[in-house]
Each structure stands twice: as structure tokens, then as C-alpha cells.
Amino acid sequence: MTALRPLLFAANWKMHLDPAEAREYLQRFLAAVAPRSGRELWFFPGSVAIEASAQACRSRADIRIGIQDVHWEPKGAFTGAVSVGMARGAGASMALVGHSERRHVFGESEADTRKKVRALLDAAMGIVLCVGEKLEERERGETGAVVLRQLAAAIDGLAKEELSRLVIAYEPVWAIGTGRHATPADAADVHRVIRGHLTARGAPTNTILYGGSVNLSNIRALLAEPEINGVLVGGASLDPERWAEIVETNA
């Protein structure tokens, strides 16, 4: 794999941490973690804490703030939704798209995911596209097919240069928040399937993250897999000192 690609640690706070809590968290985290070359730190706070988080990190070039979900329309009567422009105005420079909770809890369709990718590309925002199979799909031996279907639907019609701007996060649904994680070898197998598809589409160098119950005890083994270019972490990113310990892990 590309040796020069930075190792990526992305924290998905989900529906945790209000603006004051986000500020306090980041104060403690920044005190514990100095910038290091070859590593990037991304945080995805709840929408209302994006501005506070971006301000807290403004002196740190190694940190980026993102939004957990966006609507594809620039504005309009979409109660509760946040547009790409609004996210950017609050200080986000990237977004998660197609997280399994958006797909399976909120019913986001693959067509919705594609529209979000398009809107973010048009706004020159970073994108972390999440894909992953459910337990029953894995048990039926459909992991590769499901992941490729989700990926193909989301990137349909993109030009090569657009495609190469995407970061992909492989997050098996059965591993998210459950304490069960894919073995590094299993995760790497799926990463190779994703890489194969991207390479066939002319984009061989995208960063591919693993997510799903990543914690201090499995991070080293996951990052030892050259196919795994970083991690997307929910539960274990919610405590600043614990997250600091994880991001200080060297493969």
C-alpha cells in the first residue's frame, strides 16, 4: 500500500457531547496529543457542537472537523436536516455518508447516499463513505456482494478524479457498538474487495478505514494490516484520555 498515506483516526461521537462538553473534551484531548507527521485526526461531533469543536481545534492543522450526515439539497423545507453549506458555515470540512445507523435506523436509501456524495463533491467537501454488511448477510456469505452493491450505488456516475477524493469506511453492521469486531484478516479481505472495485474504476489509492468496536485492545492488530489505512471509532472515542491513548498507538 501507499507508504506516504497518513494514518487516519476518525472519531464519530454520534448523539453524544453538547457544545460545552465538546469544548471540554477537546481541551483535554489537545493537551494530551501533540501533532505528529503521518497522522490525521478527524472528529465528527453532533451538528450543534461542530462550531465549538472547530473553534477549539483551529490552531491544529492535523485535525479536521466533520458532520455526521447532510441533506443533499442546498436549502428548503426539510425540517431537522442540515445542508452541506450550513455544515461548512459551522466549521465542517467533511462529512460521513451512508453510516449504518443512517441506513438501518433512519431508512436512508442507496439513492439518498448517492445524492449526498454528489452534493459534497460539488461543494469540495471531504467524504467518508461508510459501507458494511449485516450479520445475516455475512452468514449467508454475501459480505462482498453487499459492500460492492452499496459502494457501486454511491459512486455511480462519478469521474475518476471525483472518486479518488472519497475515503471509504468498511464498517460491518454486526460489529458497530457490539463489542464484536472483525478480525484484522477478515477486515483486510473486505478492504481488498473494495480496493479491487475502486482500482477497476481507475481510483487505486483511496484511503480505506475500518470501523466497528475498535478499542485499545484491538487497534494495534488492526493497524498492523497494511490494507487498513485508519479507523472510524464510536464508543471508544467518547473519553478524551482513552481516545488519546488509541491515537498514540503505532502500528
Residues with a catalytic annotation lie at: 99, 171
What is the closest distance, in whole angstroms, from the C-beta atom of residue 101 to ligand PGA in the complex? Answer: 7
Q: Is 46 in the site for ligand PGA (CB under 6 A)?
A: no
**Residues paired with 169 in a beta bridge:** 130, 209
Q: Could you say whether residue 211 binds ligand PGA (CB under 6 A)?
A: yes
Which of 83, 207, 213, 229 binds ligand PGA (CB under 6 A)? It is 213
Quote the least distance from Cβ 63 to ligand PGA, whole Å: 18
CB 94 within 8 A of CB 128: yes
Region of 157 (left: φ > 0; alpha: ψ -120 to 50; beta: rest) is left
Transcribe 76-127 into DSSP letters: SS-TT--BHHHHHHHT--EEEES-HHHHHTS---HHHHHHHHHHHHHTT-EE
Task: Report the residue number, 96 or 158, with the smaller CB distance to ligand PGA.
Answer: 96
Looking at the DSSP bridge assignments, the partners of residue 11 are 43, 233
Nearer Cβ to ligand PGA (158/182): 182
In the list 98, 172, 230, 235, the residue contacting ligand PGA (rule: CB under 6 A) is 235
Rounded Cα distance between 120 and 70, Å, is: 9
Q: Which of 214, 222, 246, 247 binds ligand PGA (CB under 6 A)?
A: 214
CA–CA separation, 143 and 154 (whole Å)? 17
167 is a site residue for ligand PGA (CB under 6 A): no
- When asked if residue 127 is in the footprint of ligand PGA (CB under 6 A), the reply is no
Q: Which residues bind ligand PGA (CB under 6 A)?
A: 12, 171, 176-177, 211-214, 232-236
